[in-house]
Amino acid sequence: MAFRDIREYLAALENKGLMRRVTRAVDHTWEVACLAKWMYQALPMEKRFGLYFENVKGSTMPVVTGVFGAAVENVAVALECEVDDINKTLVAGLRGRIKPRIVKNAVCQEVVLTGKDADLGLLPTPTWTPGKDKGPYLTAIVVTRDHDSGVQNVAVYRTMVQDANSVVVNLSPGRQGTRNVQTWFDKGKKAPIAWVIATEPVIHLATVANLPYGQDEIELAGSLKGEAIDLVPCKTIDLAVPANSEIIIEGEITAGEWADEGPFGEFAGYMGPVEKRQVGHITAITHRTNPICHGYSSQMPPSESTTIQSIMNAGVILHTLRDQLGEMSVQDVFIDQNFGGALAHAIIAMTPLFPGHGKQVGRIVADATPVKRVTVVDVDVDIRDSFHVDWALNARFSPQRDTVIIGDVFMTLGMDPSVRDANGTVSQGSKIVLDATSKFDAGTSSLPPKILMEKALAVWKECGLPDFDIPKRARLRIDKS
């Protein structure tokens, strides 16, 4: 049965060893983030787990981080599928969106704080790059709405806590939330905005899927859950938020009210520059009784942020190529987990149907998404095995013939550290497509025939040599030998 809230999801993670509780008292101004940093910097993906800080100094609220993207297994638990079926589940979810349902009562409004009581200081908001960030940051789901169409958008936009009742929201140019608030300003009105902290896991995942403007990610969340997501109208603003959330912050943005945002540790591994961004005024904080606070671990890759963004957007790319562009020759898409997320490396498995087909598909992906590097391989390569992909990049790839450089790319994500000059000014970026599919028949492989390899496996066991799991790479190779 689908998880109704984050609590049920956390219990499932804990059961599987994918989340651990920390009982020692921790300081949210530095320890929460620094411990999470050790998780991602020191442990390989298969050993990582989400962190549940039960005892946060100066607060009655626990803080969880890393729970959605400690490892690919966490995402599989959220989607209630096997790791190998994640892309299949995402594509099915993208095909069958389910509209949300509006409810009158919600646990996220068990406690309602308005006016001076709506004090951001009540939340144990972590500082994510202690010693370098300007201060604590909400890394929550931001809800906005198009004034004219009424369609809502959810996305994570980091939000700097300025004081007890105001924030500075990183509504970057080009983002859908930025576009939505502008539709209210155009009518001479204040724009409503809400932050959702700790909600149903499918909502956290759907939020970071890069869907076109006008498509509400909550409908994708409903489809992934298999039933409509319950939304409840906010208490002080004209938005509806996920009913089964732990904490909701309601607020408003006035046109032309700007403040310095940052510095803040960016997902690409460097401190981002200070920029002018919109100020938000808090109108209410509502929450469940004894709420759990969540913040995403991001900043230096790999991180929770890069892991979930890679996984979700690989599904979106696969859906776009196959279902919307009719590229049925594409079998699978993976986005690397070492850098991950935007600006990352996408790897595509396909069966080219004509000369140049691999380059063509790679170019479409590079042009239509924020990924910076696209490698295209044949379907006999395990795209999740960097060893196998690298092999194809030697055995089937000739750089001069098989590379496409796409120049003069306006990086909507101006935080790409590789295109900043010495003064921090962002210049045009570029992208690369590497077509590592076979261009001709290079002959048979240099492994013994499959029949001998299988016999040898039995002999291996007779010899008492140590057991092993056959990697997918070896299976794919032996099947063809």
Ligand X SMILES: Cc1cc2nc3c(=O)[nH]c(=O)nc-3n(C[C@H](O)[C@H](O)[C@H](O)COP(=O)(O)O)c2cc1C
Interaction site with ligand X (CB under 6 A): 139, 153, 155-158, 170, 172, 175-177, 208, 210, 296, 298, 305, 309
Considering the complex, what minimum distance in angstroms separates the CB of residue 128 from ligand X? 9
Q: Which of 235, 256, 220, 263 is nearest to 131 (CA)?
A: 263
The amino acid at 165: N
Residue closer to ligand X by CB (options 63, 208) is 208
Considering the complex, what minimum distance in angstroms separates the CB of residue 57 from ligand X? 23
Residue closer to ligand X by CB (options 176, 278) is 176
Q: Answer yes or no: are the C-beta atoms of 324 and 330 closer than 8 Å.
A: no
Considering the complex, what minimum distance in angstroms separates the CB of residue 305 from ligand X? 4
Residue closer to ligand X by CB (options 139, 320) is 139
Considering the complex, what minimum distance in angstroms separates the CB of residue 309 from ligand X? 6
Considering the complex, what minimum distance in angstroms separates the CB of residue 28 from ligand X? 16
Considering the complex, what minimum distance in angstroms separates the CB of residue 193 from ligand X? 13
Strand partners, 409: 429
Residue closer to ligand X by CB (options 53, 296) is 296
Residue closer to ligand X by CB (options 66, 124) is 66
**What b/e sequence results for 372-391 when a residue is b if at least 16 CB atoms lie within 10 Å of its CB, and e otherwise?**
bbbbbbbbbbbbbbeebbeb
Q: How far apart are CA 454 and CA 448, in angstroms?
A: 10
Residue closer to ligand X by CB (options 125, 437) is 125
Residue closer to ligand X by CB (options 158, 225) is 158
CA 226: distance to chain centroid? 21
Residue closer to ligand X by CB (options 18, 36) is 36
Q: Which two tokens stand for residue 478?
A: 């032996």
DSSP 3-state of 254: strand
Considering the complex, what minimum distance in angstroms separates the CB of residue 231 from ligand X? 17
| Alpha helix positions (H), 97-254 | 176-185, 201-207, 217-225
Contact residues for 206 (Cβ-Cβ < 8 A; gap 6+): 93, 154, 217, 218, 220, 221, 224, 312
Considering the complex, what minimum distance in angstroms separates the CB of residue 156 from ligand X? 4
Q: Which residue is nearest to ligand X (CB)?
A: 155
Q: Which two tokens stand for residue 385?
A: 């095995």
Give 2: exposed, middle or buried? Use CB within 10 Å, 0-12, 13-18, 19+.
middle
Contact residues for 192 (Cβ-Cβ < 8 A; gap 6+): 144, 145, 184, 234, 237, 238, 239, 250, 251, 252
